[in-house]
Structure 1
Amino acid sequence: MRDTPPDRLAVDPGSRFHDQAALERGVGVRFNGTERDNVEEYSVSEGWIRVQVGKSLDRRGQPMTMKIKGRVEPYFKTAPAA
């Protein structure tokens, strides 16, 4: 497995950007220099994160999200497995 997190990652298993191996390893996100733990999806190359808005759900039962633009710095929380 590579030592850098993917350019784009989503928590939702239905998304094409979902990577279970990376999520199991633990991915942290620093957004504009601040640690964020409520990120649903991020894109480093496009410079945005998607975060949940309250406890509201859309008509499909997924959390309502909001896209915020800024500097995204993902990192792995644990070392790679040998």
Structure 2
Amino acid sequence: MSQTDERPALPDHLSIDPRSPHHNAAVFQHDIGIRFNDKERFDVEEYCVSEGWVRVPVGKTVDRKGRSLTIKLKGKVEAFYR
């Protein structure tokens, strides 16, 4: 990826689920990183910077529709482009 690529601004609230109103496909065309409590996390499914939380899957548990169950963790959240 070259430095001349235009990247959209990272939203305050973002979800990887395409059915969510907080999903933004343009952002996912670039590699995104999430730092939660000063540690980089690779399993974040949704985040909100202003409210300070992330949603991560709970093991391999899935609901009856096959989607992974998540838990909300609160703390310091930073989103960035890699």
Structure 2 equivalent of residue 45 of structure 1 = 50
CA contact (8 A) 1:29 1:37 kept: yes
Over the matched positions of the two proteins, sequence identity in percent amounts to 49
Q: Does 1:26 align with 2:31?
A: yes
Pick one of 31, 52, 63 that aligns with 1:58: 63
Segments of structure 1 that go 5 or more residues without pairing to the other structure are 78-82
Higher relative contact order (CA 8 A, sep 6+): 1
What are the Cα deviations for residues 29-71 of structure 1, in whole angstroms up to 9, with x where unaligned? 0000000000000000110000011111112221000000000
Give SS of 1:75's match: strand
TM-score normalized by structure 1? 0.87
Segments of structure 2 that go 5 or more residues without pairing to the other structure are 1-5
The Cα RMSD (Å) is 1.3
Give SS of 2:28's match: helix
Give the total of aligned pairs: 77
Structure 1 equivalent of residue 19 of structure 2 = 14
CA contact (8 A) 1:28 1:76 kept: yes
TM-score normalized by structure 2? 0.87
